[in-house]
C-alpha cells in the first residue's frame, strides 16, 4: 500500500494490516517517508486510535527497526529482566532495583532516559557520579550484564531507531498524548533489549505522566497486554505519585538517597516499599522465586547482607565511576553552595502536594531541562521533604532547598510553598500500590 493510502485509511478510521504497519515503520526508519507523511500518520493515529492488534504490530515493528539484543551467546545463568517507570518526582527506583535484582540472580540490561519536564531522568542522576559513562561500548555493556548482573546506560542509536524519529515528529505535531503511540514508544525500546520479562511502574496522581487515574490505568493495561502479545510476559503496577516517592528530588541528592537505601542507612519508607514490590514481581516473572513470600525473603536477605550495594558499586566502577563511592560518597557527589530550610507558614496538616509543580521547582533550580539541550546542575535539588499527613506547627521544617544562589533558593521557596496545602484535618493516606496487572505471553 502506498504511504498516502495507508495514512488516508487510518485518517478515515480503518484498521491497518500488520504488513502495512511494518512497511510504514520501515519507511520511518530508512527515511523513505517524509516528515510530512510521518506527522500526518501520527495525527491520524492520534485522532482515530489503534486497536490492540494494530498496537502490537506497531510495537513489534518499532522493536525490530534496529538491533534486538540477543543474550544467548553469553550463557547467562539467570533470566534477563527489566523495569520501566512512567516517571515522577523523587523516583530513584532504578538505582536501587537494578542492583537489588542482580543480587538475587537476575540480569538487568537497563536502558534508561534523561529527564524532561517535571520528571527526573535516571541517566542524569547517574551522571552526577564523576566518571560514570552512560554510553559504554557494547562489549563493556554485555560484560557487566553478565558478570555484575546490571548495567544502567542510555539508549544507543541502534536500538529502535524508528521510535527516535517518530517521537521527534510527535513532539512538534501535538501528537505525544496518543495511547498506542505511547505504548509502542515505551515497549519498542524495552523489548529490543531481549527481555525474558518486564515489570512496569505506572504512576497515578498529581506528579504522574498521565493526567487522570483512569488514563494511568488504561496505559498500564495496554502496556501489559501489548507487551505480552509481543512475546514478553509483563506485569504493571499502579503506584501513587501524589507526593514525591523519596523525601528528595534532584540528581546528586537522589544518588545519596539510593546509597542510603542500599547500605541500610535508610530503612522503610515509600521508596523502599515500591522498589521492593517491583523487585518481587521481577523475581516471580523470572522464575527466581516460587512465590511472593519467597521473593520478599530473598530480597530482604540480599539487601541486609550488602549484596545489593556491592552490585551497585561494581556497576559504577565498571562504567568509569569511583571504586569507593559507597565508602566516600561525600568526596565525589557535588553539593550546592546554598542550603535553605523551608518552614511551615502556619499550623496545619500537610494535606496535598502539586507534585508536578514541585518537580518544576527543581527544574528551575537547574536540576532539570526545559529543552533536551539544556545543561544540568547535578548539585541542586530538595531534601527532607515532609510527607503527606505530617502535622506541622508554624516554623517547623517542610523541606530543605539546595541551590546555586540565594536568589534561586528564594524563588524555589516560593514555588514550594505554592505547591502544597496545609489543612485543619489530616488527609486520607494514599494507597501506595494501587493495583497489579499481570499478563503472560501467549
Question: Does 407 participate in catalysis according to the annotation?
Answer: no
Query: What pLDDT score does 116 carry?
Result: 64
3-class SS letters over 158-203: CCCHHHHHHHHHHHHCCCCCCHHHHHHHHHHHHHCCCCCEEEEEEE
Q: Which CATH number fits domain 3-49: 3.40.50.300, 1.10.3720.10, 3.40.50.2020, 1.20.970.10?
A: 1.20.970.10
Is 334-423 CATH 1.10.10.10?
no
Show me where the domains of the chain are located.
3-49, 72-159+167-328+433-439, 334-423
Question: Does 232 participate in catalysis according to the annotation?
Answer: no
List the chain pLDDT tens, one digit each, 442 residues. 799 999 999 999 999 999 999 999 999 999 999 999 999 999 999 999 999 999 999 999 999 999 999 999 999 999 999 999 998 899 999 999 999 999 999 999 999 887 666 777 899 999 999 999 999 999 999 999 999 999 999 988 789 999 989 988 998 898 988 999 999 999 999 999 999 999 999 999 988 888 899 999 999 999 999 999 999 999 999 999 999 999 999 999 999 999 999 999 999 999 999 999 999 999 999 999 999 999 999 999 999 999 999 999 999 999 999 999 999 999 999 999 999 999 999 999 999 989 999 999 999 999 987 776 778 999 999 999 999 999 999 999 999 999 999 999 999 999 999 999 999 999 998 999 999 999 998 8
What is the rounded end-to-end Cα distance, in angstroms, of the chain?
30
DSSP 313-368: HHHHHHTTS-TTTTT-HHHHS---SEEEEEE-SSSEEEEEE-HHHHHHHHIIIIIS
- Determine the length of the chain: 442
DSSP-derived 3-state class of residue 394: coil
Query: What pLDDT score does 350 carry?
Result: 97
Question: Does 190 participate in catalysis according to the annotation?
Answer: yes
**Set 107, 164, 170, 266: catalytic member:** 170
**Set 84, 314, 356, 439: catalytic member:** 84
Distance of alpha carbon 356 from alpha carbon 381, whole angstroms: 14
Strand-pairing partners, residue 382, are 249, 401
Strand order of the sheet with strand 249-250?
A: 249-250, 381-383, 397-403, 338-343
Question: Does 125 participate in catalysis according to the annotation?
Answer: no
Specify whether the CB–CB gap between 372 and 414 falls below 8 A: no
**Set 107, 164, 190, 270: catalytic member:** 190
- CA dihedral sign, ordered 194, 191, 370, 42: positive
Question: Does 83 participate in catalysis according to the annotation?
Answer: yes
Distance of alpha carbon 115 from alpha carbon 113, whole angstroms: 7
**Set 10, 55, 64, 83: catalytic member:** 83
Question: Does 122 participate in catalysis according to the annotation?
Answer: yes
Q: Cα separations (Å) of 159 from 20, 65, 143, 403?
A: 22, 8, 18, 37
**Set 86, 185, 206, 232: catalytic member:** 185
**Set 86, 112, 119, 122: catalytic member:** 122
Query: What pLDDT score does 185 carry?
Result: 93
Q: Cα separations (Å) of 179 from 209, 221, 383?
A: 12, 11, 34
In CATH, what number does 72-159+167-328+433-439 get?
3.40.1030.10
Query: What pLDDT score does 117 carry?
Result: 67
DSSP 94-147: HHHHHHHHHHTT-BEEEEE---BTTB--HHHHHTTSTT--SS--HHHHHHHHHH
Cell of 340: 535553605
**Set 82, 163, 196, 408: catalytic member:** 82
**Set 29, 55, 65, 85: catalytic member:** 85
Question: Does 70 participate in catalysis according to the annotation?
Answer: no
Quick check: pTM over 0.75?
yes
Question: Does 143 participate in catalysis according to the annotation?
Answer: no
Distance of alpha carbon 239 from alpha carbon 216, whole angstroms: 10
Question: Does 146 participate in catalysis according to the annotation?
Answer: no
- Burial tier of 390 (Cβ tally within 10 Å: 0-12, 13-18, 19+): middle
Domain 3-49 and domain 334-423 have a common topology? no
Distance of alpha carbon 62 from alpha carbon 396, whole angstroms: 51
Amino acid at each position: 500500500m502506498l504511504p498516502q493510502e495507508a495514512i488516508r485509511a487510518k485518517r478515515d478510521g480503518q484498521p491497518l494490516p500488520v504488513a502495512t504497519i511494518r512497511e510504514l515503520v520501515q519507511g520511518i526508519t530508512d527515511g523513505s517517508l517524509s516528515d510530512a507523511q510521518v506527522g500526518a500518520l501520527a495525527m491520524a493515529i492520534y485522532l482515530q486510535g489503534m486497536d490492540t492488534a494494530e498496537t502490537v504490530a506497531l510495537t513489534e515493528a518499532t522493536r525490530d527497526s534496529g538491533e534486538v539484543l540477543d543474550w544467548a551467546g553469553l550463557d547467562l545463568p539467570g533470566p534477563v529482566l527489566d523495569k520501566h517507570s512512567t516517571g515522577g518526582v523523587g523516583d530513584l527506583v532504578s538505582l536501587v532495583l537494578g542492583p537489588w535484582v542482580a543480587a538475587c540472580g537476575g540480569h538487568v540490561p537497563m536502558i534508561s532516559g534523561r529527564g524532561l519536564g517535571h520528571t527526573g531522568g535516571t541517566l542524569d542522576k547517574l551522571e552526577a557520579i564523576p566518571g560514570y559513562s552512560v554510553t559504554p561500548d557494547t562489549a563493556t555493556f554485555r560484560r557487566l550484564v553478565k558478570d555484575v548482573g546490571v548495567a544502567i546506560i542510555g539508549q544507543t542509536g541502534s536500538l529502535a531507531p524508528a521510535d527516535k524519529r517518530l517521537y521527534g515528529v510527535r513532539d512538534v505535531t501535538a501528537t505525544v498524548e496518543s495511547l498506542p503511540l505511547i505504548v509502542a514508544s515505551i515497549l519498542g525500546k524495552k523489548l529490543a533489549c531481549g527481555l525474558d520479562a518486564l515489570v512496569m511502574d505506572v504512576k497515578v496522581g498529581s506528579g504522574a505522566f498521565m493526567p487522570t487515574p483512569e488514563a494511568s490505568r488504561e496505559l498500564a493495561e495496554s502496556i501489559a497486554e501489548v507487551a505480552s502479545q509481543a512475546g514478553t510476559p509483563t506485569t504493571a503496577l499502579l503506584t501513587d505519585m501524589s507526593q514525591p516517592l523519596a523525601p528528595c528530588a534532584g540528581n546528586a541528592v537522589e544518588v545519596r538517597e539510593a546509597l542510603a537505601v542500599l547500605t541500610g542507612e535508610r530503612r522503610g519508607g515509600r521508596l523502599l516499599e515500591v522498589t521492593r514490590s517491583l523487585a518481587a514481581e521481577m523475581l516471580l516473572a523470572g522464575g527466581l522465586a516460587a512465590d511472593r513470600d519467597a521473593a520478599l525473603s530473598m530480597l530482604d536477605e540480599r539487601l541486609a547482607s550488602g549484596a545489593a550495594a556491592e552490585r551497585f558499586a561494581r556497576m559504577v566502577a565498571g562504567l568509569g565511576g569511583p571504586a569507593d563511592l559507597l565508602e566516600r560518597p561525600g568526596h565525589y557527589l557535588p553539593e550546592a553552595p546554598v542550603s535553605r530550610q523551608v518552614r511551615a507558614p502556619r499550623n496545619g496538616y500537610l494535606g496535598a502536594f502539586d507534585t508536578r509543580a514541585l518537580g518544576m521547582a527543581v527544574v528551575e533550580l537547574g536540576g532539570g531541562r526545559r529543552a533536551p539541550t539544556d545543561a544540568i546542575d547535578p548539585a541542586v535539588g530538595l531534601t527532607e521533604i515532609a510527607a503527606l499527613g505530617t502535622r506541622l506547627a508554624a516554623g517547623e521544617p517542610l523541606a530543605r532547598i539546595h541551590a546555586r544562589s540565594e536568589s534561586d533558593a528564594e524563588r524555589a521557596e516560593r514555588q514550594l510553598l505554592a505547591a502544597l496545602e496545609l489543612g485543619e484535618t489530616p488527609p486520607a493516606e494514599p494507597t501506595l500500590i494501587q493495583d497489579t496487572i499481570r499478563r503472560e505471553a501467549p
